[in-house]
Amino acid sequence: MTLDRWIAFLLLLAFALYGYTAFFTMDAQLPPIMQRNPIWPSSFPKLLAIGGVMTALIVLCGFEKSGTGAPNSDATEINYRRLKEYKFGQALALLGLMVVYALVLRPVGFLAATFLFLAIGSIILGERRYVVVALVSATAAGAVWYLVNVVLGIFLTPLPVFF
């Protein structure tokens, strides 16, 4: 079995456990008045679990492979013999950046932390047009803050704590 199928199998197990939690344990803790609501706090986790299980099964069964026999099909396969050629430095840098983002989100504020996360992340991935990086990061951070704060009504601290 190839590496992508092993990863899909592990993700299938993780999403099955996540789905079990979403379907059977989260709803048992709801008060009776909330049990009549059409959307419960477990609705989105249930959709994520179903989508994750379906995607993992598609990869596990090999349905995502193209049947045309493309000449460069070996170039897109994950080859465990060539793991040293993959860009693990970028992946580890992005994971570290995610941890830093989570740690500085409250003290720095949502807008600045999200802007810096998106800008530094795109530079790590190789984007060198810094004006485009700044515009896209600022627009995305502002749009997400507006949607969450104004449309959904969930307060996010937009500015640093010392303001």
43 is in which domain, residue-wise?
Answer: 3-85
Task: Note whether 53 and 33 are same-domain residues.
Answer: yes
Same domain, yes or no, for 97 and 23? Answer: no
Q: Is residue 45 part of a domain?
A: yes
Is 7 in the same domain as 71? yes
Tell me the average pLDDT across 20-49: 81
Q: If pLDDT is split at 50, 70 and 90, which confidence band does 112 have?
A: very high
What's the mean pLDDT when you consider all of the chain?
Answer: 84
Average pLDDT over residues 26-51: 81
Q: Are 57 and 15 in contact (CB under 8 A)?
A: no
Calpha distance 77→99 (Å, rounded): 29
What does the pLDDT look like over 50-98, one tens digit per residue? 999 999 999 888 877 765 554 555 555 666 677 777 788 888 999 999 9
Domain C-terminal end among 55, 85, 115: 85
Residue 70 maps to a domain: yes
Q: What pLDDT does residue 78 have?
A: 64
Does residue 34 or residue 100 have the better pLDDT?
100
Question: Which ranges of the chain would DSSP assign to H, the alpha helix?
Answer: 3-20, 43-61, 73-76, 88-108, 110-124, 130-146
Q: Is there a domain that residue 25 lies in?
A: yes
Q: Domain end: 59, 85, 111, which one?
A: 85
Comparing CA positions, the residue from 88, 101, 103 lying closest to residue 144 is 101
Q: Please give the tally of structural domains in the chain.
A: 2
104 in any annotated domain: yes
- Are residue 8 and residue 80 in the same domain, yes or no? yes
